[in-house]
Amino acid sequence: MPIEYVYNTKFKLANETKVSFWLNQVVVSENYVLGDLTYAFFNDEDLKEINIKFLNHDFYTDVISFNDTRNQIIGGNIAISVDRVVENAKLFDVSFDDELRRVMVHGLLHFAGFNDKTKTDKLIMTQTENLKTQMFHVKQ
């Protein structure tokens, strides 16, 4: 299954093929199979509206995941605020590309059963994000 990318802003991924290959490797590394997966990119205001409408959260966020994973087949929609990624990259002193990959894999890891509600869960999620983002730089 190819990963679908939907652009609701001026932003476009530089290399969809390379990103898709990496995300599929992440899925496989967690013993899942890639199903229907869509990444949609928004500005802050539009993602906040989605956050309010679907989660009743009245605040900005970098990523929202709508999980449709069934029987070890990863699927769903991941909505990302490009504006938040830009801001968080500055805040954490990392490149935009590194922060974008972290957010992309964060949403995907939720589909593989990872959570970030407790302090322990957040630690495990962060460690796993770091491992999976490193996979992007492995020779393909």
Report the largest interatomic distance among the alpha carbons of the chain, rounded to a whole angstrom. Answer: 42
CATH of the domain at 120: 3.40.390.30
pTM: 0.94
pLDDT in tens, 47-93: 999 999 999 999 999 999 999 999 999 999 999 999 999 999 999 99
pLDDT in tens, 89-125: 999 999 999 999 999 999 999 999 999 999 999 999 9
What's the distance, CA 17 to chain centroid?
16
| 117 CB-side CA count, 13 A | 4
Kindly state whether residue 93 falls inside one of the protein's structural domains: yes
Number of structural domains found in the chain: 1
What tokens appear for 125 in the block? 């999620």
Using DSSP, how many helices (H) and how many strands (E) does the chain show?
A: 5, 4
Separation of alpha carbons 26 and 135, rounded Å: 8
Amino acid at 9: T
Range of the domain at 93: 4-135
Kindly state whether residue 140 falls inside one of the protein's structural domains: no
Kindly state whether residue 26 falls inside one of the protein's structural domains: yes
